[in-house]
Structure 1
């Protein structure tokens, strides 16, 4: 499968560009996969009046390869994630789990990335060992690359050793670890354990943090560390989650979906699940999956729409009114287009001309009952078969061919 081109020039006109910093109605020029400063006379123009353009979403915590693995059914919450891991060992004998794990890891990783892309997530922090499949040119999403990680203080047999990994991570790169993922004394003790080991610093990114107490959160903020909040996964495994408000106000909180093994279907569903809780407004929630996530993960060219930034975007219809100008409350089939590196990857059929102008061959698909066009390089049948709600339209796989478009550089 060939890579998707990102070098075309385009200008998006008449849409409202929405970022945590405000709303702009200026034309949005794209050049070579980045947001440009000036509109050029040549290039593809698209009129998006009555539309909203958001930055592509950033999923700050995911395990891409397990999204098609059947979850463990539990009748009562676990005291911590280690207890869940122990219980999962017997679950490995379930025929459905065996079958899911027999799918090649390369394909499972692509499926996890596709799941994210369909819901407007264009960049993911993958918290597992690196795999060559993640380096392919046509991988569906961008990935956090310059980082260090360890798995968890209480599970040293998987992933890099905690102290050595932290020491090897440059201070200007994030270092991630599952921490305080529980409600018991074991989870509550982990921040002090991390601190005593010298692994709590401004680049420490703590995943989950359910067991963090008020004084622990103040310690996290004092050193400039941050937490990635995965509420759906926390409720499924532990029966409760972190109170996010103090960290959110301080700008030290991002949002992650974990994976479907324990968490929400996607990042949009994660947002929808917390919108009416915790006194967080829709603008604050948007920050958690755009600008705040980018800042915490040290990705200065993502999470906002501004000259020089990567042209990753989510386009939706403008439903009118300030309160409606949000991605919160939408589902993935309602997204008009998901744009990565300045070109659409999945979009409604009336975006066909933009695909053609970019030289991208498309395949018609149905997403949760709605027709879409998907870039052909992403339309691997085996990957699509893993995703509930996504299906190829029979007999039309070659219908939308790339075509020459006038006025395109």
Structure 2
């Protein structure tokens, strides 16, 4: 497959990306490339590596945002929502966990995320539409994880990084929690902190990385971590968190982070690509380059240039999502070209995303229907669109 005539993120020249199997085999100037029969040609489009979302709770993405005050810490938030929003929580929990987790995959795919680090219990997926990274030990937090000291210091998990919410608050207890966590890390496990709002510079040096979830932080606490300082001391990765505390649209969250200004545009982009690829030891991801895994997102540039062309993306602007060399999502504007590649459409279903029609791999229609059978008012930000007739579709 050849992706013809695309701008690579923050580069001026127009390139052709040649894929074979799961790999990128060449990247050349579009003017020098002989157009092949298997080319998909773009006009005014930007290509980026598939995003790596370093923090989500896949089975929590059918909740509305819950909370209506500024909290001091996550324990206070949890106590409040369980007393005030019991009805809303119970309605979502009626939906089987497997369905909720599968929707979490699609939430990410629709935004161009091709790898997600899921925090919580391990889920088993049959042919997931994106990669789920679970080669880590998930501990919820010092307050809510039972026997957390024993689990943290379990030598059988020594080779896995620990991922834990910590310092999620703006009061003294949030700072003390990080101190407690570090002082109880007897076997010196590599810890990836999530949130770290109360984290100090000295504490930051003790962590393998910090996952920054700015939208969630601002929603719950009205502020976020001191990223401009902490980034000098530990790698900063970007996480979306779930819809309990943030929008389903990670691009909206990225713009919140951009407005915060703690990361440069390049650093923000890298917090979703090359930085997590390094921290999570997925070095074949995070870049568009020869011999890298073909996880690629192509989006409409609009009238933007440079980093604006990347950081202004919205889900409806996404034209193509490829994971391991296989198309997982494409915009209806590419339909004729996709058909000409003799790619069967029987594995795709149509949905409308903010008015834009996307063809999505897997039976997202059945998933949405099943979810609504348990919770008819579940908040799902796409609409089912029926394909009129498959008679014109080419098949293998």
With normalisation by structure 2, the TM-score equals 0.86
Structure 1 regions of 5+ residues with no counterpart? 1-9
Asked if the contact 1:244–1:278 (Cα under 8 Å) also holds between the matched residues in 2, the reply is no
Partner of 1:391: 383
Q: Does 1:82 find its partner at 2:65?
A: no
Q: Distance in 2 between matches of 1:143 and 1:199?
A: 29
Q: Distance in 1 between matches of 2:82 and 2:51?
A: 33
Alignment equivalent of 2:126, drawn from 136, 148, 153: 136
Cα deviation code 1:194-244 (max 9, x no counterpart): 22112695831100000112332xxx23x4621001111111212211021
Partner of 2:115: 123
Structure 1 counterpart SS, 2:9: strand
**Which stretch shifts more, 332-341 or 177-186?**
332-341
Residues 400 and 225 of structure 1, relative CA distance in 2, 3 Å threshold: farther
Alignment equivalent of 1:149, drawn from 132, 138, 148: 138
Partner of 1:366: 352
RMSD: 2.8
Alignment equivalent of 2:65, drawn from 68, 71, 86: 71
Cα deviation code 1:132-158 (max 9, x no counterpart): 2xx311x2321112111211112223x
Partner of 2:30: none
Alignment equivalent of 1:331, drawn from 277, 293, 314: 314
Partner of 2:6: 15
Q: Does 1:254 find its partner at 2:237?
A: yes
Asked if the contact 2:207–2:234 (Cα under 8 Å) also holds between the matched residues in 1, the reply is no
Residues 402 and 379 of structure 1, relative CA distance in 2, 3 Å threshold: farther
Partner of 2:375: none
Q: State the shift of 1:107 in Å.
A: 0.8
Q: Distance in 1 between matches of 2:331 and 2:289?
A: 25
Alignment equivalent of 1:345, drawn from 311, 328, 340: 328
Structure 1 counterpart SS, 2:202: helix
**Which stretch shifts more, 307-316 or 384-393?**
384-393
Partner of 1:3: none
Residues 384 and 103 of structure 1, relative CA distance in 2, 3 Å threshold: closer
Q: State the shift of 1:344 in Å.
A: 2.5
Q: Distance in 1 between matches of 2:90 and 2:175?
A: 34
Cα deviation code 1:255-288 (max 9, x no counterpart): 1111110123222111011212225332221111
Structure 2 counterpart SS, 1:327: helix
Alignment equivalent of 1:207, drawn from 194, 197, 203: 194
Partner of 1:277: 260
Residues 224 and 239 of structure 1, relative CA distance in 2, 3 Å threshold: closer
Structure 1 counterpart SS, 2:254: helix
Partner of 1:7: none
With normalisation by structure 1, the TM-score equals 0.84
Asked if the contact 2:9–2:310 (Cα under 8 Å) also holds between the matched residues in 1, the reply is no
Structure 2 counterpart SS, 1:363: strand
Aligned residues: 382
